[in-house]
Structure 1
Amino acid sequence: MADSAIPTVDLSPFFTDGDEDGKKKAKEVIRQACSDYGFFQVVNHGVPLALMNRAMDLSKTFFAFPDEEKLKCAPPASDAPVPGGYNKQPERSPDKNEYVLMFPPGSSFNVFPTNPPEFQKILEEMFTYFTNTAQLMEIILSDCLGLSPNFLKEYNEDRSWDLMAAMHYFAATDTENTGVSEHEDLNLISFVFQDEIGGLEVQKDGQWIPVPPIQDTLIVNVSDVIQVLSNNRFKSATHRVVRTKGRNRHSFAFFYNLQGDKWVEPLAQFTTEIGEPPKYRGFVYKDYLALRKRNLTHPPSKREDFINITHYSIST
């Protein structure tokens, strides 16, 4: 296992006026991290530590309830691409976890727990803060790619498809120690806030690098859409969660998403304008979402048969 750490970036220069040198240095680290890892960590990111800690405490309280209590906020049948509310991985899935999924506050797809009573309010606050930080990160990534500052914002202006999950991973047993099998996120940008148990690992050069939990730190990874748009300039990192024997793990994950009807393909700035061939064929985002959803609902018998972004790769 690799013993190097993923980079940590201080975002405080972006919340004050005048520190252009601090912004430049932060962007340099982020640009390199997105090329090398697809992962980095941020501090002074704008999400209050007290809110993060309170959300984690309430999440642990909720998941400690018996199943009959948690199932009170199970999602009804709907046309949502993924169901809001309490969900549990199918028994046949190797990923042993349960989660509460929410869409933007006010969405009709949300089904909130009523116990603990404060949980809904805290989840909505967390969602709003995560959205604000993701919008800042969107501007930073546009600049790191040499695009106009508002490019990704204008390309991805619909916020109704964003998702946040409060997650509980069951303790490992003598025969099971995986939490979420290795994968890449399919959206644009993801945030992770994990408890003291840790378990998140990112792959680089065939080795797994642990991402230890650090208080008041958000883990950021660019995802499949960014990798395709940049024609592989930025990496959608392969990552996983390894569960700890005898210890439950809790985390929050925020997925800054894309509207389902959006067309995704390598940008001309990274292909025709510089004489490079596209590495992916274009696709409608919701079609890819449906393929990835099927990985969960009807998991293949072999891990190598799971669909990922290579489904759209162009052979050279």
Structure 2
Amino acid sequence: MPGFSIPTVDLSPFFNEGLEDDKKKAIEIIAKACSDYGFFQVVNHGLPLSLMTRALELSKTFFEYPIEEKLKSSPGSGAPLPAGYNRQPEHSADKNEYLLVFPPGSSFNVYPNNPPQFREVLEDIFSHFTKTGLLMESILNECLGLRSNFLKEYNNDRSLDFMVPLRYFPATDTENNGITEHEDGNCFTFVFQDETEGLEVRKDGEWIPVTPTEGTIVVNVSDVIKVLSNNKFKSATHKVVRQAGRSRHSYAFFYNLAGDKWVEPLSQFTKEIGEPPKYRGFLYKEYQQLRMRNKTHPPSNPLDVIHITHYAIPHLGKEENS
């Protein structure tokens, strides 16, 4: 799409008093980005550049270790997702390996012993992500025109947020996908990446590269916000295209929702404005179980993969998804 780029928003006004006009402008840009395609970038977000750089350095070192060393951090049992080191199966279309981390102090975590200081950096950057997540939640709350602190009160359990340092393998002559086209199932996701390109977002049927920029965090709105807003905000469709001759390293932080939460379009976006709901309500853990089954038992027909459209109300016709 010629001339198009992902909008970048300066969050510094939200850390300083007396910059109400700048806050208002930032909220307007974010709201438009969320309603158009669900993707934007932020700077001056509260994560120190030095910490982001160090986190990438340590994850690169870890992923370069022999597989025997990485498997020492294999997942334990009992976690809702497999915390620790994971590698996609050889038959999977997604060619990556990753380390899944829950909040500091969680009994689910399985930290690598090497490289030294990796655990401390993971816990530090997780804590910074959580603070930025709380800020972003309040910004999205205002973008949607909800009453003060609505999303914070609705989503007040941070124990199931998780973070994933990732390594996408170099492309081969026959394969270049690093992760297939998808939308995230949580509330929203943060990503920062090294200098290797590959992340793309779909807008109006075209794939737009998200150019890596030092110190910038990519934000994508996910399925929970999409449903709560009755499609006012989009859940961003995105993918990773692997690059020839080089790995791509990134960190993704998933601002999540407790499994027993009920998710359905809010009345502000339905009956209060005379709009029919576009989705039927569901338990969040039910949806996550369906998404997990996509990975553990992928259907032979890609059209049978479960998306949020599973809950779309059929009589409304084809769901909008741009």
Same fold by TM-score, threshold 0.5 exceeded? yes
Structure 1 position 303, deviation (Å): 2.2
* 1:305 positional shift: 1.7
Query: What is the aligned partner in structure 2 of residue 171 from structure 1?
Result: 170
- Does residue 311 (structure 1) correspond to residue 310 (structure 2)? The answer is yes
1:161-184 Cα distance to aligned partner (Å, 9 max, x none): 101000000000000000000000
Equivalent position SS for 1:280: coil
Query: In the alignment, what sits opposite 1:302?
Result: 301
Structure 1 position 98 matched with structure 2 position 94: no
> What corresponds to 1:115 in structure 2?
114
Aligned residue identity for 2:125 = M
Q: After TM superposition, which residue ranges in structure 1, 4 or more long, deviate above 4 angstroms?
A: none
Deviations 1:210-258, CA, capped at 9 Å, x for gaps: 0000000000011000000000000001000000011100000000000
Q: Distance in 2 between matches of 1:302 and 1:125?
A: 42
1:140 aligned partner, one-letter code = I
- Secondary structure in structure 2 of the residue aligned to 1:154: helix
Whole-Å separation in 1 of the counterparts to 2:156 and 2:33: 25
Deviation for aligned residue 1:3: 4.7
Equivalent residue for 1:57? 57
CA contact (8 A) 1:3 1:209 kept: no
Residue in 2 aligned with 1:245? 244
Gaps of 5+ in 1: none
Which residue number in structure 2 is paired with residue 258 of structure 1?
257
Deviation string, structure 1 residues 154-201 (Cα, Å, up to 9, x no partner): 000000010100000000000000000000000001000011002100
TM-score under structure 2 length normalisation: 0.97
1:1-316 superposed matches below 5 A: 3-76=3-76, 78-315=77-314, 316=316
Is this contact kept in 2: 1:90–1:297, CA < 8 A?
A: no
Determine helix, strand or coil for the equivalent of 1:281.
coil
Q: Distance in 2 between matches of 1:106 and 1:61?
A: 24
Q: For 1:37 and 1:283, how far apart are their aligned partners in 2?
A: 24
CA distance in 2, matches of 1:243, 1:49: 25
Q: CA RMSD in A?
A: 0.8
C-alpha distance in structure 1 between counterparts of 2:74 and 2:147, whole Å: 42
Q: Percent identity between the aligned chains?
A: 69
Matched AA of 1:250? H
Deviation at 1:135, TM superposition (A): 0.3
Q: After superposition, what is the alpha-carbon deviation per residue over 1:81-131, rounded to whole angstroms, capped at 9, x for unaligned? A: 211000011122100000000000000110000000110000001100001
Deviations, residues 248-289 of structure 1 (Å, cap 9, x unaligned): 000000000000000000001101111111000000000100
Q: Distance in 2 between matches of 1:160 and 1:302?
A: 35
TM-score by length of 1: 0.98
